[in-house]
Structure 1
Amino acid sequence: MASSSSSIHNKSYLYDVFLSFSGEDTRKTFVDHLFAALDQHGIRTFKDDERLEKGKKINFELLQSIEDSRLYIIVFSKHYASSSWCLNELLKIMECHNKGERFAFPVFYDVDPSEVRKQTGPVGEALAVHMNKNKSEVGKWREALKKASNLSGWDVRKTSNGHEAKAIKSIVERVSLELRYIKMGVDDNLVGMERRMQDLNPCLEIGTKDVRMIGIKGMGGAGKTTERAFKFGLEKLQEQVLRDVLKDNGIIVSGVHEGENLMKNRLCGKEVLIVLDDVDDID
């Protein structure tokens, strides 16, 4: 049987991240900025903008979206626990997290982690609205809140001295790193690569501040990809390099000269490894 780590590598997900949040507190502020930052970095994020009225049950489509996501960001705020919709989202998220294949990250926005863990203060007051209507569910919600608050995450008020933009940057960097790890599954059919990499490493001279160019040639027709430069033009190749390295899908290159200048200005001072496939022309 495949391990849980290999199953997440092989499974195809519709979304990289599912955002769970209280729209009343954060939809037009923190969550809006966080979603924009994730999207700018090419991270496919599900953000539900159409909530059912309080008290309505979570629908099948939303549960399926949670199933179809690799990672989860739970933004706890003062009114998060007042929504049975949010709390049922949380139950489903923790169910997926507890399987050990996917991971949830809590973000504490304008609330203290201990308030979520112990359901005190504004969190306790928000949860109290369910005592008369959903007594059978409250116990499950309390346990989910407690477990989620014990996970590694971010207290926005204490991250980067309370600077929200820097906190969001930290969140995006961590999510990007986690997704990069998930997507770096190695093909077990690539036999003999370890020895070849040992021969290649000295040529790379990793750690030097100079530029190294290495050419690797091989027989044509062995299954390599069609060269993008011929299909789309050099400017599209430059654009793709800039977008991938800088994690910015908003970059547009309208001409080769512009692309050259952008690469000189935006990539100077960065340490990057760029692999160009099917290069048969000096341009």
Structure 2
Amino acid sequence: MASSSTNLNAQSKFDVFLSFRGEDTRTGFTSHVVEALRRKQIQFFIDDEELQRGEEISPALLNAIETSDISIIIFSKNYASSTWCLDELVRILDCKKRNGQIVVPVFYKVDPSDVRKQMGSFGEAFVHHERNFPGEVRVQKWRDSLIQASNISGFHDSRSFRNDAELVEKIAEDISKKLEDLADPPNFDGYVGFNSQIERIKSLLCLELDDVRIVGIWGMGGIGKTAIAEAVFHQISSREYSNHFDGKCFMRNVREESRKMGALYVRDEAISRVLGESNLKIGTLTINSYIWKRLRRSKVLIVLDDVDDNFIQELESLVGQLNLYGPGSRIIITTRNRGVLGVNSIVYKVKGLEHDKACELFCRKALSRKNRSDDLLELSKKVACYADGNPLALEVLGSSLRQKSKEQWYNKLHDLTLISEPRIYKVLKISYDELSPKHRKIFLDIACFFKGEQVDNVTRIQDKPTSLRYELEFLADKSLITISYKRLQMHDLLQEMGQTIVREESEEPGKRSRLWDHEDVYDVLTKNKVRINLFDIIFLSIHP
């Protein structure tokens, strides 16, 4: 998640909206709350100090309130003197009523009863409001909203905390837990047959012990390493689990991110997330003693997903010495390369799905519950055999046959029988070959250029953005891509297949339809063998 935002973009979506009286708390208490939210990587909206205000709340600011999951209302001495704050309060409580928005009131150095009964400074403010807006309905709405807000569970007595720092930390922890509860649970459709392996990893972690452990999850592409690691991460880091971690992070696609951003950047990002720092940058292979002191005091949970040889040195600096983390810390590494896992690692090799579980996963993707006839179930067993227990191949094959005729099922089975050995690449390529030329083009563009990119950024450069969104949904339905957190994602095995298809177009890079490797582009430009599309060069300069 982004750490913060003050842009009033109509399309923005925030975790938290902050309502506060600027002259009371902007440079003090509220600024500390903001920094605590930023450290926990919570996306929030805070009104810019220089924002030009009219008499009414702007549509963009209303959108920020409407699209936030949680609103924090900081009641301070002069909160009620601002009609702007009171209008915000009315809108926030309206969102609570209509959309179930979570509201967290914080009574900062004010008595909740003063807010509820409009006494003290709150009473003085309403003397002015009654004089300035005689007989207006909005004044009564403000009063009703203050009464309602004062009865909502929150932080009612700031004086019960030893200091502001303790109060701020409790607020940030409370908001973080509430957001965790709101988060969509992982989609476990792709976890069929993994339960026993998930439990095996948890047993290898020995969470009841206070030592520091590294568990490596090793296996071929598409076999389910990431899915297993993700399930374990969600289960052992949940609020309900007895073991509490001081810091945690799940670093996805380490191999790809290291090539894009640099291995040191990925290493520093992992430490930054674990320590709750914003954009911590070490920049050198050696980690300074101050950072290590902080890590030694922390019980951490780190998952490094898809690690390869290019991350070896950084991996060594991060997990080479087990005494660098606090007691009870756990590190999980997924990789295709057994060699990247050091002697300190406990290695688990992921197994392919057993035949009955493979058929179950395939059927979930290929057949609706109403369309599970005996003949199609029998064909499912035969088709599933060619995936060799590989979950990715099962999902892609199953999705490609969903809502297809029996004749098309037989044709698919015939194509599969032409493969002398069930190589996963060849199995996956059958689904690619069945795409229309238009969908093949989009698939290859994503494999070569757009994996990990924001969907909006990709569609914006197209002549027909709406049409492209439809085509992306089609590819997602085929399990060839996924759209996660508004970004285009693709399994690395499918990406390799797409890039291999392009490389096979010609031995000479200059004669291929796409160039994404900076060395190939440099070679073609310097030898002047071909005229390159300007967009490809620009895109490559952004993603070296």
Contact 1:40 1:250 in 2 (8 A): no
Matches within 5 A, 1:173-184: 173-183=173-183
How many Å separate the matches in 2 of 1:120 and 1:248?
41
Match in the other structure for 1:7: none
Contact 1:238 1:253 in 2 (8 A): no
Q: Specify the code of the residue in structure 2 equivalent to 1:85.
A: W
Contact 2:109 2:159 in 1 (8 A): no
Match in the other structure for 2:151: 150
Q: Which one scores higher on RCO, CA 8 angstroms, separation ≥ 6?
A: 1
How many Å separate the matches in 2 of 1:229 and 1:202?
30
Q: So what's the TM-score if we normalise by structure 2?
A: 0.46
Match in the other structure for 1:107: 106
2:285 maps to 1:256: yes
Instruction: Determine what percentage of the aligned residue pairs are the same residue.
Output: 38
> Does the residue aligned with 2:103 lie in a helix, a strand or coil?
strand
Contact 2:111 2:157 in 1 (8 A): no
* 1:17-75 per-position Cα deviation (integer Å, ceiling 9, x unaligned): 1111112222222222222332233222211124666x822221211111121211101
How many Å separate the matches in 2 of 1:52 and 1:220?
54
Cα deviation for residue 123 of structure 1 reads 1.0
Matches within 5 A, 1:125-144: 125-132=124-131, 133=133, 135-144=136-145
Structure 1 pair 208–184 and aligned structure 2 pair: CA distance change class (3 A): farther
Match in the other structure for 2:303: 275
Structure 1 pair 151–196 and aligned structure 2 pair: CA distance change class (3 A): farther
Moved over 6 A (4+): none
How many Å separate the matches in 2 of 1:256 and 1:22?
45
Q: 1:243 is matched with which residue: 272, 276, 286?
A: 272
How many Å separate the matches in 1 of 2:90 and 2:195?
43
Matches within 5 A, 1:1-283: 14-48=13-47, 49-50=49-50, 56-99=55-98, 101-132=100-131, 133=133, 135-155=136-156, 157-161=158-162, 163-183=163-183, 185-192=185-192, 193-220=194-221, 225=253, 227=255, 228-258=257-287, 261=289, 264-281=292-309, 282-283=312-313
Structure 1 pair 229–129 and aligned structure 2 pair: CA distance change class (3 A): same
> Does the residue aligned with 2:15 lie in a helix, a strand or coil?
strand
Structure 1 pair 13–178 and aligned structure 2 pair: CA distance change class (3 A): farther
Structure 1 pair 188–144 and aligned structure 2 pair: CA distance change class (3 A): farther
Q: Which runs of 5+ in 2 are unaligned?
A: 1-10, 227-252, 314-544
Contact 1:76 1:109 in 2 (8 A): yes
Which stretch has the larger CA shift, 78-87 or 151-160?
A: 151-160
How many Å separate the matches in 1 of 2:262 and 2:60?
41
Cα deviation for residue 246 of structure 1 reads 1.1
Structure 1 pair 263–195 and aligned structure 2 pair: CA distance change class (3 A): farther
Q: Specify the code of the residue in structure 2 equivalent to 1:72.
A: S
Whichever of the two has the greater Rg, that structure is 2
Cα deviation for residue 197 of structure 1 reads 2.4
